[in-house]
Amino acid sequence: MILKHCFINFLITFLWIYGGGSRPVQESLRPRRVEFQSFNLQNVLHWHPGSDFTPNNTVYFVQYKIYGQKEWTNKEGCWGICELFCDLTNETSDVQEPYYGRVKAASAGTHSNWSMTKRFLPWWETKIGPPSIHVKQSTRSIQLILHAPNSPYKSKRGKSISIQNYYELVYRVFTINHSLDMKQKVYEGTNDKVEMDMIPGSSNCVAAEIYLPELAQSSMSTEICTFMAPRNDTEDSPLRNANSM
């Protein structure tokens, strides 16, 4: 009975895909949900197979163009690939320009029609990551040094270009009390160095995020916890200094 049931399912699937000529085959191969996903201006085209019955040996072909152009350009590194994604970061490096991408599939000599993205503007649609935090600790305070993430692009000298070169960044810093589940903002501004007073002998957790006023968008936050060592007051005691003279 089980074998008979499996054979019937196979027969239905076979007739559904191949019974109507080349058109059903093309439609079943045609990629779905073709879209750009962008993080820190790393722009990657993603898509899904045309159906649950798409053969495992299906390959994909990718093209792109700037909005307004008539001709599409082949992405050579994504021509006849098995993967369901294609990195178009270098091809979309003018982040203020709108782009389109499209994908088609092929299997057993049959090609699907193209599936195209909606218009994609990297500068507007990318998601910005949180800043990294470096801590410098003094006797009664800590200094947070915040670093914006880098873009995938390089300068002529080969140095990574910061996201700060593309956006107006505002840093937000919060203190966090996990026991009370409280988060309090202690700084908001454009300075990437923030001084905070701390109580010696205490453990402190702070979080930092980036806010983009132009896009009304916030990044996720980075959290770091530090321990302020107890201060040995006798080290600075005038009496001790006098006795040691």
Q: Is the CB of residue 242 less than 8 Å from the CB of residue 152?
A: no
Looking at the predicted structure, is the pLDDT value of residue 156 above 60? yes
116 and 35, same structural domain?
A: yes
Which of 125, 156, 171 terminates a domain? The answer is 125
At 23 the pLDDT is 55
Which of 125, 159, 181 terminates a domain? The answer is 125
Write out pLDDT tens, residues 193-202.
999 887 776 6
Instruction: Point out which residues pair with 204 in neighbouring strands.
Output: 226
Looking at the predicted structure, is the pLDDT value of residue 210 above 50? yes
Which of 125, 145, 175 terminates a domain? The answer is 125
If residue 101 lies in a helix (H) or strand (E), which one and from where to where? strand 99-107
Over residues 96-101, mean pLDDT = 97
Looking at the predicted structure, is the pLDDT value of residue 155 above 70? yes
148 and 108, same structural domain?
A: no
At 21 the pLDDT is 44
